[in-house]
Amino acid sequence: MKIVVALKQVPSRDSALRVPAGEAWIDESDLTYEINEPDAYALEAGLQLKEQHGGEVIVVCAGPERASPSIREALAKGADRAVHIQEDDLHKADTLSVATLLAAAIRAESPDLVLTGLQSDDLGSGQTGVVIAELLGLPGATIIMAVEVQDGAVRVKRELEDGWFQHVTLPMPAVLTIQSGINKLRYATLMGIKKAKTKEVKAMSASDLGGLPAAQIV
């Protein structure tokens, strides 16, 4: 089974965010960065499915060069390889633009499952996974608490309001947005860190995927 996990690098939660006078974006010079926590849960879900059913986990990340350590961390935790869409101006783009790039890279992999975090810690729109599903023409489900792979399908448990849950079966391939806290995140082992140095990270530019859609830049 081939599983793609969309991963975003975000400012660390304890970062002090400052917007310089006359600017429209934060000053990044003093920031530290980390894997978006909801995406870390998506990665863990993918790794557990790989352990149960075999196959591979591919990380797809859109972001500047500084995202490389987060990608290597995902590889150290057990992802098999990665695709890095190197683009510096994503903070100027809306969800549709970013999702269009991610969907183009994902489409080339022809995965059985696409996993994303429920939302990002920085912008928190909660839209990227849903838009990717639409762009790929795949069934999708959100706020996933549990995943069970069946013969040609996936049965998921969705969190609803007021303590209610919904069980849904979707044909594969499918796109799922994973709820934070559904599993215990693993740490990268020393052996995993060493192996990550030799794993493939395919660098691509936005132009390789048709370019960042200019009409959606804000």
pLDDT in tens, 92-134: 788 899 999 999 999 999 999 999 999 988 878 889 999 999 9
* Structure letter (DSSP) for residue 112: S
Can you give the pLDDT at residue 65? 94
Can you give the pLDDT at residue 135? 96
The predicted model scores a pTM of 0.91
Which positions of the chain have pLDDT values less than 70? 214-218
101: amino acid identity, one letter? L
Decide if domain 2-9+25-216 falls under CATH 3.40.50.620: yes
Can you give the pLDDT at residue 81? 97
Can you give the pLDDT at residue 17? 77
Give the ranges where the chain is alpha helix by DSSP (H).
37-53, 68-77, 95-109, 128-136, 190-196
Can you give the pLDDT at residue 217? 45
Give the list of residues 6+ apart from residue 119 with CB closer than 8 angstroms, or none.
38, 125, 126, 177
